[in-house]
Structure 1
Amino acid sequence: MPSSLKIDESVVEDDAAYPITVTLRHLTEEEATPKQSSTSANGQGTQDGLFRSNLAKDDTQDLLDASKINARANSEEVIHAKYMIGADGAHSWTRNQIGLKLEGDSTDYIWGVLDIVPITDFPDIRMRCAIHSADCGSIMVIPRENKLVRLYIQLTTTNQKAGDNSSRADRSKINPQMILESAQRILAPYKITYRKLDWWTAYQIGQRVGTSFSVLERVFLAGDAVHTHSPKAGQGMNVSMQDSFNLGWKIASVVKGHARRSILKTYQSERRRIAQDLIAFDHKFSRLFSGRPAKDVMDAEGISMEEFKAAFEKGNMFASGIAVNYGASAIVAKEGSSEEQGDGTDVSVAIAKHRVISDQSLCGGITVGMRIPSHKVLSQADARPWHLHEVLPSNGRWRVVVFAGNTNENQQRDKLWKLSEAFSAPDSFLNLYTPKGARSDGVFEVLLIHNAPRQSVTVLDFPEVFRPFDEIDGWDYNKIFVDDVSYHEGFGNIYEALGIPQNGCIVIIRPDQYVSYVGSMEKTAAVNSFFAGFMKEQHVPYEAQPNGTQV
């Protein structure tokens, strides 16, 4: 368990330094692994009956290991780190140590949560749905695994602690039986009860966002540690994972020496703005969910079901990340101010000549700053169909995807070969920013998607930059794809779906599958300029680099 955190501010800009010092206290076996009770029946804990029986596994080695843990109990260990991520919840120890705050307030809405195996005559209990009662509140139903159903239940009876004028509710008055009774009132005339309770909790919706998401771009906060809102529909979990996903590849790029530390500022610009937008939406969604339904179109104080449905669908987009649209920055080449499109942080390109602007008109189905949509394409080599996202795994690589059009046409074929010559030049991004001795696709993966008939060409008809050669593995057959009909799975029609013109385009995709740049096939210099804005030139052999390990 951490007991102290210190940052040496004098070396935070030194890429080789370890400015963070964390002191840890070793826990006893009892502190580290508290006893757990099994699934409860109507909230009552029951023992599993297997402790120390002949049905339990031989735990002799476990007991010996536990004695070693206890021998180290209460001793301290000091860790020095380059970076630290605090994803330690709404009461974040990390946030308190670095002196950051959450801003916002609590609502008056109190909700209970039950994970139960329901016994009910309500016919849609295995459907994700929302139920509004006339005057007893609301329920959200989310089916889970193993016959479990999660119920979010509005509690109409709340109490504050005596003498406490704060906005926090007294949760000591709330128990599973009280939550169940609220659910029964809301569902009436349908009936509901349970004999198996897996988990329960109660919460007061707090809508807060951190004043900052990091300190000195060395210690970062993610998830509930830096923003809190309604957890309905998995928003808390999903948005928190998106925070970590956004931050993880950026830190990895910096630690490996591929990118400059300046890209770390985009974490706050991108994710704090998303948190602000989500909380603004959550204010509205919580009001809609907790209010009573309108009796008719003339009932101005009631909640419109059409408005509620639209908000419900928008909540799904937030949870899935589909609604995310990152603003202009050094790693998102779009028009406009990075401060206005983000959270107010300046994350623009430091050197003006390296700023490039996407030509969004080239493909109406791709939005710079959003995830690239996925449609099926065929491998040129073996005609196997792949969803585009399947060939963009999260392994830290940037993708430069060339949509080359019909390469049987002379004009498109000539453009493709000129592009490949530019990408293969000594001063191209591929050669400047890939460590010497590393795999040719270790940092950047160049992919081709054409729409000439697949059987009219072969892999060997295309430039080598799209099929790099390895002395052991030979030609790479996994980087050239075609928009054509498959033998068994139909036609992906990716060109039509994404609005790709027949004269082609270049799309740069970040390691997290968000689109950074869209431009014409002729603008290879713009690709070089884009990467020059934040990548580090590589002058040392790959093996000699700090932390030089491949993903």
Structure 2
Amino acid sequence: MAVGAQTDHVDVLIVGAGPAGLMMATWLAKCGVKTRIVDKRGTKVFNGQADGLQCRTLEIFDSFGFAHRAWIESNHMLEISLWNPDEKGVLRRSSRIPDTIPGISRFQQVVLHQGRIERFFLDAINEFSEGKVSVERGVIPTSLEIDEKTVEDPEAYPITVNLRHLSEEEARPKQTATSVNGTVIQDGLFRSNLSPDDTAEMIKAAELNQKADTVEIVKAKYMLGADGAHSWVRKELGFKLEGESTDYIWGVLDIVPITDFPDIRMRCAIHSANSGSVMVIPRENKLVRLYIQLTTTEKIGDQDSRADRSWITPDVILESAQRIMAPYKLSYRKLDWWTAYQIGQRVGSSFSAHERVFLAGDAVHTHSPKAGQGMNVSMQDSFNLGWKIATVVKGLANRSILKTYESERKGIAKALIDFDHKFSRLFSGRPAKDIMDEEGISMDKFKEAFEKGNMFASGIAVDYGRSNIVSKPDPDNEASKAAKLQALASEVKLGMRIPSVKVLNQSDARPWHLQELLRSNGTWRVIVFPGNIDLEGQKKRMNSLCDKLSGPSSFLKRFTPPSARYDSVIEVLTVHAAKRQDHEIFDFPEVLRPYDEVDGWDYNKIFADDQSYHEGYGRLYETFGISPDQGCVVILRPDQYVSYIGELDDYESLDGFFSGFLIPQGETKEPKA
């Protein structure tokens, strides 16, 4: 314990302000949770680093309101070219495939450097927290204690962390300077293209010295270690990264290329006959990123042993690329960023200690960069966790939901490592000369793996298992009730994110993507699909459900704090299958269009699956596999994943689902988990 140091109490302390840490801070700021986020670096990243944004990540950005910024600034990748040696060993384009599987999302994969992505998060955190939360830079934790006696007490602050404020010199990332074309270029965090909205970051860096060498104590209810592959938090907890002993050493070059290679603005996987492989990623501002595997090294003893990479320079990486891409020419005059890094395929032994201190991102899984996965999976770790911690901290749910973080995300991390292992082997291997060449890699198999990998890489295939917040059928009991209920919406899969199609606002005819209605604000959604309400039976079933939803002991009332807005914990949305023009908003029960004394009726809760004037027809019922003659009710978690599918008028099962983890408001005691 630091003697004489001041003590601060927070709900959540985040260590590490990369994409995983910033995603967590964004959730907590949006949900009004008292948060601090610290990072050892003196400044944010300005360029380079990770760059691929997959479809699901853009859907998540959109739910926070900043996908449009990434969409406008990024380079869009629509096609992949595969280049292989022909029978004479000459490099030829063998096939083209779509970069994003058509139809799986309203977004396609884009690329934009991590510095811009961090900027979007920082702006969102500032806006959501009204300036109360910002990254404290040049700060490191020096000790971590967990009081195991109080970990189950929802009011306790069982975590004690000592924080030390670094001097500006200590907080500056180490860089390797290299002379290229007469200019000195630094690897890693070389600051070249500063955007105007990053200027404040540079000024802020100059303020570090005011607190330099001071120590403070932070007591926290929860903590996230998002501090990278060499995670201090992970080591303090005594957790290990488990996996292969082989590390790959990769060279990465961000250049404006001068070349006669025709597909330089396509994503390419290029296999040469004998000189290795290169991945080409076209980027914003005419940049192109080249990924090249240079060598492998065996791990010795300690899991963080490092190989000597001092021999790797931009020239070494470029020469390797030139050999692989021959007979095409490649050179550059402008180098934006470069690095060489050592990476192995490993997963953390545990993702949390006592469901109080959690790990996310590279702190719990590491893998190679080619699939454009690392940053996406890291952000999705904390997208999974953020709302859960916020809901528990606010006293709305019991701590049992926190157990689902490890059960849901560890499986994803393992699937990522499996995918990366197969993909790396196929990418790095020498192409087979013919079918008798057993040591070579079949290029047909590589293409097949690439296409299969596209679905996994998109982030859309994430499928969470059974828990108290996902009412999935028991896999051993095909005839179970949950299995029958899944059939009510056969294409809306329990445990997966809800797909998106266009629906029309009942009140003003405006078309919306269903996902656009699912803002990330910590709210659960009950979506009522009453089907064709022109049918007397369907209207009766809808009204019967609504009578119970509006009753005095309804779960909508029980789990919402008396002073809170009616939709702050659970929001009810309706999408019907009748013609929009045949119905008025007042044909629907009041619980579906709630009333506020100041704001009047809520006109943004009822939608129709109908033809729009300008944007076509979503055909939601058909796309989701819902019968208009039967309808159903779907519950979505605050992260847009499907929790429950049930009969339209089965109020009791809806109530039972929420009663499994939400805390009745007005009560002081937390129910047993």
- Whether contact under 8 Å (2:249, 2:297) holds in the other structure is no
Cα displacement string for residues 33-89 of structure 1 (whole angstroms, at most 9, x for unaligned residues): 569999985594269xx9xxxxxxx99x969x95x7434321111111111000000
Cα distance in 1 between the residues matched to 2:644 and 2:299: 54
Q: Which has the higher contact order (CA 8 A, sep 6+)?
A: 2
**Structure 2 partner of 1:346:** none
Cα deviations across residues 230-253 of structure 1 (Å, max 9, x unaligned)?
122321100000001000010011
Q: 1:424 to 1:487 in 2, by over 3 A?
A: same
The question of whether the paired residues in 2 share the 8 Å contact of 1:43 and 1:176 is answered with no
Among residues 470, 479, 492, which one is paired with 2:605 in the alignment? 479
Pick from 396, 418, 429 the counterpart of residue 522 of structure 2.
396
Of residues 646, 650, 658, the one that matches 1:519 is 646
CA contact (8 A) 1:239 1:319 kept: no
Over the matched positions of the two proteins, sequence identity in percent amounts to 67
> SS state of the match for residue 537, structure 2?
helix
- The verdict on how the C-alpha distance between 1:42 and 1:267 changes in structure 2, with shifts beyond 3 A counting, is farther
Q: Following the alignment from structure 1 to structure 2, what is the Cα–Cα distance between the partners of residues 293 and 202?
A: 25
> Given the alignment of the two structures, is residue 123 of structure 1 paired with residue 249 of structure 2, yes or no?
no
Question: Is residue 2:325 matched to residue 1:187?
Answer: yes
Residue 84 in 1 paired to residue 223 in 2?
yes
Uncovered stretches (5+) of structure 2, i.e. residues with no partner: 1-139, 192-198
Q: 2:537 aligns with which of 408, 411, 418?
A: 411
1:445 aligns with 2:571: yes
Taking structure 2 as the reference length, the TM-score comes to 0.72
After TM superposition, give the deviation of residue 297 of structure 1 in Å: 3.9
C-alpha spacing 1:42/1:324, structure 2 compared with 1 (3 Å): farther
User: CA, structure 1 residues 464+314, in 2 after alignment: closer, same or farther (shift >3 Å)?
Assistant: same
**Using the alignment, how far apart are the partners of 1:240 and 1:535 within structure 2?**
27
* Match of residue 507 from structure 1: 634
**Cα separation, partners in 2 of 1:511 and 1:357, compared to 1, 3 Å:** farther
For 1:507, what is the secondary structure of its paired residue? Answer: strand
| 3-state secondary structure, aligned to 1:393 | coil
Q: Secondary structure of 1:378's match?
A: strand
Match of 1:529 among 627, 649, 656: 656
Equivalences for 1:315-326 in 2 at 5 Å?
315-326=453-464
| 2:71 corresponding residue in structure 1 | none
In structure 2, what is the equivalent of residue 351 of structure 1?
none
Superposition pairs of residues 46-65 of structure 1, within 5 angstroms? none
Distance 1:39 1:491 in 2: 56
Question: CA shift at 1:311, angstroms?
Answer: 2.0
Larger deviation, residues 82-91 vs 517-526:
517-526
| CA distance, structure 2, for counterparts of residue 376 and residue 301 of structure 1 | 50
Alpha-carbon distance in structure 2 between the residues aligned to 1:463 and 1:241: 39
Which whole-Å deviations, capped at 9, do the CAs of 1:342-382 have from their partners, x for residues lacking one? xxxxxxxxxxxxx9777111122111011111001010111
Q: Deviations over 1:184-213 (max 9, x none)?
A: 110000111111211112233301111110
Q: 1:162 to 1:323 in 2, by over 3 A?
A: closer
Taking the aligned partners of 1:476 and 1:508, their CA distance within structure 2 comes to 20
CA distance in 1, matches of 2:321, 2:176: 25
Task: State the alpha-carbon separation in 2 of the partners of residues 278 and 401 from structure 1.
Answer: 32
> The residue matched to 2:617 in structure 1 has which SS?
coil
Question: How far apart, CA to CA, are the structure 2 residues paired with 1:35 and 1:516?
Answer: 46
**Distance in 1 of aligned mates of 2:216 and 2:401:** 32
SS at match of 2:244: strand
Equivalent residues in 2 for 1:63-142 (5 A)? 66=206, 69-107=208-246, 109-142=248-281
Q: Which residue of 1 aligns with 2:315?
A: 177
Match of 1:379 among 505, 509, 514: 505
- Secondary structure in 2 matching 1:232: coil
Aligned pairs (5 A) from 1:238-249? 238-249=376-387
Give yes or no for contact 2:245–2:299 (8 Å, CA) kept in 1. Answer: no
- Residue equivalent to 2:407: 269
How far the C-alpha of 1:484 sits from its partner, in A, is 0.4
Residues 1:146 and 2:285 are matched in the alignment: yes
